[in-house]
Chain A
Amino acid sequence: MTMKSVLVVDDEKNIRQTLAQALIPMGLHVETAVNGEEALQKVRDAEFDLMLLDLKMPGVDGMEVLRSLSDVRPEIRIIIITAYGTVKNAVEAIKLGAVDFIEKPFSPREIRELVNSVLARDALEPSALHGYDAHIQWSKRCIQERRFPSAEEHVRKAIGLDASRAEAFNLLGALQELRGDGLGAAKSYRAAYALDPTYKPARMNLERISAIPRSSGTILLDGQEEL
């Protein structure tokens, strides 16, 4: 098997270092970029299997990198690095094929587990999907390949196997929102929130989609940051 290649894109040196330190012992080839421009340049010059991408960067930000990649190199797997586990526009990220998020700060174990699960997804066989996790992983793979109806089908299968996971309902909500079913999306986000009120992505999505007009700005709770 050839060595997998990872590009770490973050303007903060400590994040690049932490990620490289965690990934190199996994036998991955790791390169880094300090901003969006450099990331896009490196992608033109070399082949990468995976990109760990910070959304908040000066200049060309992560979302713009995602948009460009979606056109030129849609096959590169993406893990988005976030400050508080949520991105303002997770639905747009999903539309661009990015469905994996990691929240700062992260432990080396956490990074490795996520990178492994993202890379392992490519070896999944659609004929041999057993259990909740397999369907969720397949659904994410479908999102990476922009096959959204299949992604929705499999997330529904996953929910059929285990209806107690907030993550699955949140993912379903995002897919419903993506195809314009706001009502269905709101229902799914609400189900996710009810299952686990501490699951931040669902709470943020629910707040966003409910769009309750606020008198002055955004109400921030518990260290949450509006991105």
Chain B
Amino acid sequence: MRFESQYIVVVGCGRLGAYLANRLSEAGSSVVVIDVSPDAFRNLSVGFSGFHIEGDGTELGVLAQAKAEQADLLLATTRRDNVNLMVAQLAKSVLGVPRVIARVFDPQREESYRGLGVDTICSTIVAGQAFWERLSEAPKS
């Protein structure tokens, strides 16, 4: 994916959201980060050149303020599965964002999210796989 000139909305500015927002901004995307807590924006780096909006990303008014309907990509990265799902669904079905990815913690929910057409990344499974691979490596002595 080319990042220059992409318009990207990131919902949730915790460690993951801020990490992605910082990287995307440095890669040349125009990034808007949304978080309910103004303190969360401290996670953004000095190199972050995007915008931030304080508000609840599950509210259409807040997503409209972020001009999410113009976004090329939306990432839902809060700590709450339900919030991420709701944001992702709004972005996809109501606002017509072409690409939406949601963070999921509960592996059992991932399947049902996919059924709703939401692209997901399950951090539990990703971490589990990393652990498993590490365990499979020959122990270093």
Contacts and interface: CB of A to CB of B under 8 A. Distances in A.
A109 B70 contact: yes
Contacts of A104: 51
A223 interface: yes
B28 A105 contact: no
B33 to A, nearest CB: 10
B15 interface: no
Contacts of A14: 48-51
A68 interface: no
Chain A interface, DSSP helix/strand/loop, else mixed: helix
A25 B30 CA distance: 14
B61 A222 contact: yes
Contacts of A58: none
Nearest to B28: A21
B55 interface: yes
Contacts, number: 48
B67 A22 contact: no
B8 to A, nearest CB: 9
Interface in B21-40: 28, 30, 32
Given A107-B30, A109-B5, 20 more contacts: A13-B49, A14-B49, A14-B50, A18-B30, A18-B49, A18-B50, A18-B51, A21-B30, A22-B30, A104-B51, A105-B32, A105-B53, A107-B7, A107-B67, A108-B5, A108-B6, A108-B30, A110-B70, A223-B61, A223-B65
